[in-house]
């Protein structure tokens, strides 16, 4: 794999941040003001980063400040910003065929990507693939397929999960009330179970019983009092909760959930929109538990920033008839070209790098709970790492205000990060970061933690 550097702006091909104005700089400030006057006020921006260009793990803002990007456009640019191979694939495809609509016509790269995704999905049975444009569309397709295939209509999702914001997906999402407030009634027949929390305990105590408590709720409360399992079409779960706080479900829980699904003919839907495509050091977060979902939903990291999502299911499950479900743009040729280039890079370099850099970060932060009284938990896999901040390690009182301050402080030190859940920091950098960048991020957050603790 040779990097093709033609037509790429590599002027910011540095490794570390460099700030030349106070933040926001004058151009960023002007842009933010214009943006606030015209864009939907529903967007949530934590700090005023006004991006102009990106390369690798670096982003340059409109004033020429350079940042190290540990947010990756919300875990999207898996191969970094504007990877030469991805840019080249996009440019080549755009000059050849931009759109055709795979719902009505045929084109080669649609088949090629479907075959590739089928080959990397777990499980012996042959697969089929459906393409959409966003994570939420993946969720919609998964719900519809589960209902169609099972001829049942009930769904189970988990508290603190995030599956998207379209009305069907929102009915699964149970992350923050503000995401539901004002929108009226959602899809009926959706029930929420408790996600196993190995830090706090599923019900706020006994972390060591997290899996057993979460399973017990499903089998002995949900199934006995609220919904008969024979009525349930699908259970949708993020193997590592993303927006919910970068919280992994234990392997024993995932395997037991799979067994429950098999026993009752329920479709197990793994929402790997955030955790998939190599971010955790394996193709799928579920791979760490040997999970074989009936339906996998993927988006975000699939095409390095081009809009694309896919659901991959067992072939016998995807039995809907022509006309049952489709989308004009789903599987757009240019997005697919970007995805094929992305997958090639992930397969040959970056999944392994994600595992290696993740381990490096876990090593560097191993003593943080001793050194920092506000660090409650550090968890995750590969480059999907959550750091939960608390006011007190004993009481585990959540510290959302301290988390928000650290996100803001990091920005002023040239590091872009995001929060996750009520009170966690998340690391979700591009999967190509090197040791120097990993160490810079760790050093920066270490300094922010120390500063915040001093002020308490
Ligand atoms: C696990 C998961 N599923 C679904 C979605 C929705 O994706 P999108 O914003 O592309 O609709 C997200 C977005 O954060 C996600 O993290």
Q: Ligand 1 centroid to 34 CA: how many Å?
A: 27
- Tell me: the pLDDT tens digits for 266-285? 999 999 999 999 999 999 99
pLDDT for 5? 59
φ, ψ for residue 371 (rounded to 5)?
-85, -25
Q: Which of 277, 246, 446 is nearest to 354 (CA)?
A: 277
Residue whose CA is at the smallest distance from ligand 1 atom 3: 163
Confidence of residue 378 (pLDDT cuts 50, 70, 90): very high
Atom of ligand 1 nearest to the CA of 300: 10
The pLDDT of residue 50 is above 70: yes
For the chain, the C-alpha Rg in angstroms (whole number) is: 22
Q: Set out the domains of the chain in order of their start, with CATH numbers.
A: 26-83+358-454 (3.90.1150.10), 88-346 (3.40.640.10)
Task: State phi, psi for 82 to the nearest 5 degrees.
Answer: 50, 50
Q: Is 271 in the pocket of ligand 1 (CB under 6 A)?
A: yes
pLDDT in tens, 218-260: 999 999 999 999 999 999 999 999 999 999 999 999 999 999 9
Question: Does ligand 1 come within 6 angstroms of the Cβ of 135?
Answer: yes
Environment class of 370 (CB within 10 Å of its CB; exposed 0-12, middle 13-18, buried 19+): exposed
Task: For 207-252, list the strands marked E by DSSP.
Answer: 232-237, 240-241, 247-248
Asked whether 244 lines ligand 1 (CB < 6 A), one says no
Q: Which atom of ligand 1 is nearest to the CA of 297?
A: 3
Closest ligand 1 atom to the C-alpha of 164?
6
For the residues 28-37, what does the mean pLDDT come to? 98
Rounded distance from Cα 372 to ligand 1 centre (Å): 32
Region class of 328: left (phi > 0), else alpha (psi between -120 and 50), else beta: alpha
CA distance 338 to 89: 6
Ligand 1 nearest atom to the CA of residue 243, by list position: 16
- Of ligand 1's atoms, which has the minimum distance to the CA of residue 238? 1
Confidence class of residue 13 from pLDDT cuts 50, 70 and 90?
A: confident
CA distances for 264 relative to 26, 152, 189, 213, angstroms: 60, 12, 17, 20
Q: What is the pTM of this model?
A: 0.97
Task: Please indicate whether residue 299, judged by its CB atom, sits closer than 6 Å to ligand 1.
Answer: yes
162 lines ligand 1 (CB under 6 A): yes
- Confidence grade of residue 127 (pLDDT, cut at 50, 70, 90): very high
Does the Cβ of 49 fall within 6 Å of ligand 1? no
Q: What is the pLDDT of residues 154-175, one digit of tens each?
A: 999 999 999 999 999 999 999 9
Give the Å distance between the CA of 450 and the centre of ligand 1.
Answer: 33
> What one-character DSSP code corresponds to residue 225?
I
């Amino acid at each position: 794999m040779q990097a093709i550097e033609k037509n790429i702006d590599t002027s910011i091909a540095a490794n570390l941040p460099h700030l030349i104005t106070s933040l926001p700089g004058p151009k960023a400030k002007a842009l933010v003001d214009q943006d606030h006057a015209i864009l939907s006020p529903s967007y949530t921006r934590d700090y005023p980063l006004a991006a102009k260009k990106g390369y690798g793990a670096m982003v340059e803002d409109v004033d020429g400040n350079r940042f190290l990007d540990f947010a990756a456009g919300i875990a999207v640019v898996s191969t970094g910003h504007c990877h030469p191979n991805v840019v080249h694939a996009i440019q080549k495809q755009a000059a050849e065929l931009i759109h055709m609509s795979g719902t009505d016509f045929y084109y080669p790269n649609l088949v090629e990507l479907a075959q590739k995704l089928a080959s990397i999905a777990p499980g012996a049975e042959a697969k089929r693939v459906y393409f959409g444009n966003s994570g939420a569309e993946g969720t919609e397709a998964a719900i519809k397929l589960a209902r169609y295939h099972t001829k049942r209509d009930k769904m189970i999702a988990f508290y603190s999960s995030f599956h998207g914001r379209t009305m069907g997906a929102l009915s699964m999402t149970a992350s923050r009330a503000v995401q539901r407030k004002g929108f009226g009634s959602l899809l009926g027949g959706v029930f929420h179970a408790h996600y196993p929390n190995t830090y706090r305990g599923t019900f706020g105590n006994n972390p060591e019983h997290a899996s057993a408590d979460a399973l017990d709720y499903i089998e002995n409360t949900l199934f006995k009092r609220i919904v008969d399992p024979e009525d349930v079409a699908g259970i949708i779960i993020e193997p590592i909760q993303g927006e919910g706080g970068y919280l992994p479900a234990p392997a024993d829980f995932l395997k037991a959930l799979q067994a429950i699904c098999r026993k009752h003919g329920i479709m197990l839907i793994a929402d790997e929109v955030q955790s998939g495509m190599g971010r955790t050091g394996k193709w799928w977060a579920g791979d760490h538990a040997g999970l074989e979902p009936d339906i996998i939903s993927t988006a975000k990291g699939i095409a390095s920033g081009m809009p694309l999502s896919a659901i991959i299911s067992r072939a016998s499950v995807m039995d809907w008839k022509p006309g049952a479900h489709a989308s004009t743009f789903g599987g757009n040729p240019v997005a697919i070209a970007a995805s094929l280039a992305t997958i090639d890079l992930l397969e040959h370099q970056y999944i392994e790098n994600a595992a290696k850099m993740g381990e490096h970060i876990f090593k560097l932060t191993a003593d943080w709970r001793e050194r920092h009284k506000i660090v409650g938990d550090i968890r995750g896999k590969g480059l999907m790492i959550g750091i939960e901040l608390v006011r007190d390690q004993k009481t585990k009182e959540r510290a959302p205000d301290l988390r928000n301050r650290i996100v803001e402080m990091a920005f002023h030190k040239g590091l872009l990060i995001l929060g996750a859940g009520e009170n966690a920091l998340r690391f979700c950098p591009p999967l190509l970061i090197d040791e120097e960048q990993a160490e810079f991020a760790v050093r920066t957050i270490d300094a922010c933690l120390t500063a915040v603790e001093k002020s308490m």
